[in-house]
Amino acid sequence: QLAELAGSPRAGEIILSAARDWDFRAGYEPIPHVSSHGALHREHMLVPLLTNRPPARPPRRTTDVMPSALVSLGVPVPGGLDGESFV
């Protein structure tokens, strides 16, 4: 995961990841913080997915959703997408 993040052209030169239950913003925000933009912890990376049919294979990444939706709609999946259909 870190190698993928660091290899992105949008990545900064420094990547910070707080330890579990630690918040870099504590003490700097006047409003109690109750959510997150995500972290490198497994529970922050899991995304629930509901479908109206059983998938042909388990989805592995959120990028699999778009090609799967296109296949379900009968629309051709363009080349160059990162995801793979699970339908």
- 10 and 32 together in one domain: yes
Same domain, 70 and 38: no
9 and 41 both lie in a single domain: yes
Q: What pLDDT sits at residue 38?
A: 67
Let me know whether 29 and 53 are in one domain.
no
Distance CA 8, CA 74 (A): 32
Q: Per-residue pLDDT tens for 59-86?
A: 788 899 999 999 999 999 999 988 999 9
| Residue 41 sits in the same domain as residue 53 | no
Q: Which residue has the higher pLDDT, 81 or 24?
A: 81
Residue 71 lies in domain: 49-86
Tally the domains of the chain.
2
Average pLDDT value for residue range 31-57: 76
Choose among 47, 28, 29, 27: nearest CA to 38. 47
